[in-house]
Every structure is written in C-alpha cells, then in structure tokens.
Amino acid sequence: MSTENKYSSIHYNSYLQVDKITSAQNLRSDEMGLHAHDEMLFIITHQVYELWFKQINFELKSVVHDFSARQVNEKNVGIALSRLNRVIEIMKLLIQQIGVMETMTPLDFLDFRNYLFPASGFQSFQFREMEVMLGLKENRRTTYNNKPYHCVFATDKKEALENLEKTSSLFDLIEDWLERTPFLEFGDFNFVAEYQKAVRSMLDKEKEAIMGTDILSDESKQMRLTMLGDTNTYFANIMDEKKHYELVKSGHLTLSYKATLAALFIHLYRDEPILHIPFQLLSKLVEIDDHLTTWRYRHAQMVMRMLGKKVGTGGSSGHEYLATTAANHHIFADFHNVSTLLIPRSELPPLPDLFRRNLGFYFSAVNE
C-alpha cells in the first residue's frame, strides 16, 4: 500500500458520520401526529448519555485488562490513574446534563410521555455494563419490581451481563492488587502491631487531655470519653481478622482483611513518594463512587420533579426506586471507610530506614 493511499484525506462529516447521528432523532410525537417540541431534547440528551457510557466502558475495559495481568506494571498503574480520571470528568458532565434536561417542565414532558411506554432508562445495557465492570454485584442490588435487573434485556444482552458478572470486576482486581502489596511486614517491622501501639498512644493522650481540662464538667468529660471509645472499639472492625470476615459475611463489608490493611497503609504513608500513585488510584475509585451516587440522586430528584409519585414508564416506583439505589448502590464504600481508621501524621509509627529504601508498589501475583 502506498503512503498516499494509506494517508488519504477524509472529510469531517464522513469521519464522524454526522449525517447518521443527526438523523437518529425520530420523534414519537410526530409519528402520532401530535408534535411535542421538547421530545427532541429528551432524545438527544439520552443519546448523549449512551455515547458517554460507551466512552466510560471503553476506559474501564482497558483498566480491567491491565489489572488482570499476573504482574501489574508500574507504568500501567499510572495509565489507569489517568483513564479513571477521564471517567470522573465524564461523570461530572453526566451530572451537569441533568440541568439541561430540567429546562423541560413537567407539563412539557407530559406532551409525549404516554408515547414512551414501556421504554425506560432501566433498559440501558451500557449503564448496567458499567455497574458490573466497576463491581456492583447482583446480590447487593435493589431489585427491579422484585425481578433481576437484567430481566428487561433481550436474551443476548442478558447473557452478556451474566457472563460479565462471572469475570473479575475492577473492585475484584484492585482487591487482589492490594492483597499482593509487600508493605505490611518487612524484617522486624510489623505494620499491624506498630499501628495498634500508635492508636493506643493517641487515645491515651486524648483521654488525658479530656480529663485534664478545667473547661468541661465531669458529665461532659464522660460523654467525650464515651464518644472517643477505646482500643477495642477502634480495632473491632479492622484489627480482628475474624471479626472483619464476620462483617464481610453479613454484607456490612466487602473488601478483604489484607486488602483493607494495605489500603490503610497506603493512606497513612501517602507522603512517601512511591505511594503517591497508589494513593491517588484509591482516591479516584472513591471519586467515581461519589459521582455515580450524585448522579443517581440528581436523577431521582429530577424524576420527582417531573413525575411526582407517578409510576415510571418502565413500571418501577419511579423516584422511590431511584432514591434507594442512590443510598444503597455504593461500590467502593470500603475505601471510604478507611478514613475512620486514619490517625494524625504526628502519631504515625516511623518506618525503618531499610524499609523506606525498599518501599515499592510493583505488586507481584507470586511470592518473589
């Protein structure tokens, strides 16, 4: 093939298939002979959502692929970070787009709503694909009219989602990656033991400060001591492995004990240069969860504004269902919970010099 043919010119319109895109808005209201002006906005907004879902899934697939390797290359961790950041920026747009939709009034929507049955946003395959890839498991979902979430899809798409659920999600892969971290024990340094000592010291200082002040009454001092808790309270969910897995079994936690410890270590020692990127990676997962929750909440509020207590076009309870998913469909909540266990930098156990020099984040799936 000649260079001339290989790099032949292409027109903007044909490259982007603009004609195909701009001819894909077929108003049901026009088909019914009762033109509804705002139906065009409704269609385009949802089409744009689907395009952004496609881009998000494109990014997530690449990150899942890189973290599926037996060894996660340091370079790929940085690439994953930039791609997850792109996902976050897209999610910000998805939230802002609700404001565009809200320029349509409830009465405007009623001009064409009856033509949409039984179409529904619940039938967005790409959105469900995104949820599954991130790590939202079926047993943690709010049911759709007491039926599986994938019941609204044709057989091929239903099977695609079921097969996707059998593979490792981003949550699963990050958990595996954290479990392979070499940080928790190094020579004579035992992170868990040193952290326990630091927490005991911190709590003892706080108790001493409470009891030593002249500002608080005895009743107030006792109340503050109760709120402060003790080492048993503080360690219950994290330092007792058996207790941790009881909470996993009951559904209150998802992340494994070892992965939780690794995440805590990364957060506490984030200022070590080699831990900057791992810390940012975990922070991006939390941001994704935050933005997805915000989008669900804003969507629920928009539905309440548009429909009040009406049943959704797909047969759901509308606002009530959407608000429940906003409250319950957290994927990376365990990474939020790490903040509960953080202690001030001034209380951190010092890392041995040799440990600090050998600290790295090239996590191997096998013991070296």
In tens, the pLDDT along 76-110 reads 899 999 999 999 999 999 999 999 999 999 999 99
pLDDT tens, residue by residue, 285-319:
999 999 999 999 999 999 988 888 766 555 555 67
Please name the helix (run of DSSP H) or strand (run of DSSP E) that holds residue 128, with its range, or none: helix 125-134
Q: What's the pLDDT score for residue 358?
A: 63
Residue predicted with more confidence, 63 or 337: 63
Every domain of the chain and the residues it spans: 3-183+236-358, 185-232
Given this model, what pLDDT does residue 7 score?
Answer: 72
What percentage of the chain has pLDDT greater than the value 70?
Answer: 88
According to DSSP, residue 71 is labeled: B
Which range, of 135-139, 282-286, 287-291, 332-336, averages the lowest pLDDT? 135-139
Lowest mean pLDDT among 126-135, 171-180, 185-194, 333-342: 185-194
Say yes or no to pLDDT of 169 above 50: yes
Helix (H, G, I), strand (E, B) or coil at 20: helix
What is the per-residue pLDDT for 364?
45
Domain 3-183+236-358 falls under CATH 2.40.50.140: no
58 Cβ neighbours under 8 A, 6+ residues apart? none
* CA dist 225 → 199, 217, 249 (Å): 15, 12, 31
Q: Is 229 left (phi over 0), alpha (psi -120 to 50) or beta?
A: left
Say which amino acid occupies 32.
Answer: M
Average pLDDT of the chain, as a whole number:
87
Q: What is the pLDDT of residue 316?
A: 53
**Which pLDDT score is estimated for 368?**
43
pTM of the predicted structure, to 2 decimals = 0.87
